[in-house]
Structure 1
Amino acid sequence: MPFPNLFDASGLAETKERILKLKPEQAPQWGKMNVAQMLAHCNVAYEMVYTDKHPRPKAFEKFMIKLFAKKAVTGPKPYKKNGRTAPVFIIADQRNFEAEKERLLSFLDKTHVLGADHFHGRESHAFGHLTAGEWNTLFSKHLDHHLKQFGV
């Protein structure tokens, strides 16, 4: 299943439209996070690209993550409901819905403006160098999974 291309204007618009349909009181169809926590959780992927907030895994840890998780994260198969989450992505505290939504929309815009060429060959925290297509799948598949979790 192809996921929306966030480097393309129509794919970006489609994804942003879904995000804008979220409401602070929406309950998940599965999982433990509320909608504000989910948005914060989705922001972590972009924080890893655009900030130094999250330390890079050490060599052995990176090797193991790449070996066991890269295909699941950058491949075409959708995520399963209630799958395991890496500790850095766990959001246990309460978050501000509007602030997290605006951060996510801003990260999406920044990613789109930088474009596929900027991301092609760029190194990720855990998976090594990725193609633009792998970066898009990493971002888009994750968002699609969680937007479906909240029914949009």
Structure 2
Amino acid sequence: MFIETDLESVLAHLNKLTPETKPEWGQMSAQRMVEHLTDTLRIATGENPQVLLIPEEKVDRMVAFLYTDKPMAKNMEVPFAKAGTPLRHEELELAIDEFVEVYLEFQELFAENPELKTVHAFYGPLNYEQWDLLHKKHLTHHFTQFGIL
């Protein structure tokens, strides 16, 4: 079961975080995880464009994964979420505020451009529905990681 991606549901979970919340696996702090979720939204909006890092012939299989009930693997390393990335904000609450701002930009962009596709490095060009499926898996993955789901 994956989390719903409406802002109210997401915020209900994000607001359970404290600066002291520790992950059950991995090295991210709670704030770094929130900033990483925002970074993913910036990829989805095209603000942080990505190039495809997998062979094109694997894209269909990767996109098909989004439509399954399989969770994301733990301890994945991706080049756009490097360990040791410095924090952008002085506190967790500011990182959550930034997430909300970029989440709303994502929703507005795709509402105004329903045919838009933006590239994810491992899934290729995704439309809104596919980004939403990815966000459901991604949010569930990290909220489970931090014990807030």
Q: Same fold (TM over 0.5)?
A: yes
Distance 1:37 1:73 in 2: 24
CA deviation profile, 1:11-70 (whole Å, cap 9, x unmatched) = 33111111111111111111111111111221221121335445x326x74626636644
TM-score by length of 1: 0.74
Amino acid at match of 2:25: W
Quote the sequence identity (%): 24
The answer to whether the 8 Å contact 2:110/2:116 transfers is no
Distance 1:68 1:86 in 2: 18
Amino acid at match of 1:63: E
Q: 1:116 to 1:57 in 2, by over 3 A?
A: same
Partner of 1:111: 106
CA deviation profile, 1:64-111 (whole Å, cap 9, x unmatched) = 6636644445643111322x2211122413423233221112122233
Q: 1:53 to 1:120 in 2, by over 3 A?
A: closer
How many positions carry a matched residue from both structures?
A: 144
SS of equivalent residue, structure 1 residue 93: coil
2:51 pairs with 1:57: yes
SS of equivalent residue, structure 1 residue 124: strand
Partner of 2:80: 88
CA RMSD of aligned residues (A): 2.9
TM-score by length of 2: 0.75
Of 46, 53, 61, the match for 2:41:
46
- Once the 2 structures are TM-superposed, how far is the Cα of residue 136 of structure 1 from its aligned partner? 0.5
Distance 1:62 1:119 in 2: 27
Q: 1:74 to 1:33 in 2, by over 3 A?
A: farther
Q: 1:93 to 1:17 in 2, by over 3 A?
A: same
Which runs of 5 or more residues in structure 1 are unaligned? none
Of 16, 19, 22, the match for 2:17:
22
